[in-house]
Amino acid sequence: MSRKSYLDELASVPLFSLCSKKELQAVAKATDEMELPAGRVLCEQGSTGREAFIIIEGTAEVTRNGQQVAIAGPGTCVGELALLDHGLRTATVTAQTDLRVLVLGVREFAAILDEAPTISRKLLRSLAGTVRELDTQTYG
């Protein structure tokens, strides 16, 4: 897949949906494409996160405390909290099918924010929207 075609994929990811084409190009440039087999664990709950995964093809199961909480498919970013706080993984993500993903490391993400600080505000807005949505789901 070419870097140009990554832009459409990244634009569909809620975390990056507010970014301009130029900002998406910076994100695409910082990612590595990987193919992962079914059964591969991308993130393990309780482990330290060092990267995020953007699913391009395939599906992955997201579990928390051994219970399935979601199925992640194309356009889903998993592990993104690690990019922001370097904290422990909040869930385990396991490939249900063979996956094609873009991997974005903590160091590469920090470099993007340094080069294009406007991305920070857009990511904060996106995350605030997610928090509001979760708040509404939880508390009405």
Which CATH number does the domain housing residue 57 bear?
2.60.120.10
Domain that holds residue 91: 3-139
What pLDDT digit, counting tens, does each position of 27-65 carry? 999 999 999 999 999 999 999 999 999 999 999 999 999
Identify which has the larger pLDDT, 8 or 74.
74
Structure tokens belonging to residue 35: 């193919």
Whole-model pTM: value is 0.89
Q: Residue 2 — very low, low, confident or very high, per pLDDT cuts 50/70/90? A: low
**Beta strand pairing status for 60-64 and 32-36?**
unpaired
CA distance 63 to 44: 9
Structure tokens belonging to residue 32: 């590595």
What pLDDT digit, counting tens, does each position of 68-92 carry? 999 999 999 999 888 888 889 999 9
Q: Give the count of domains, the chain.
A: 1
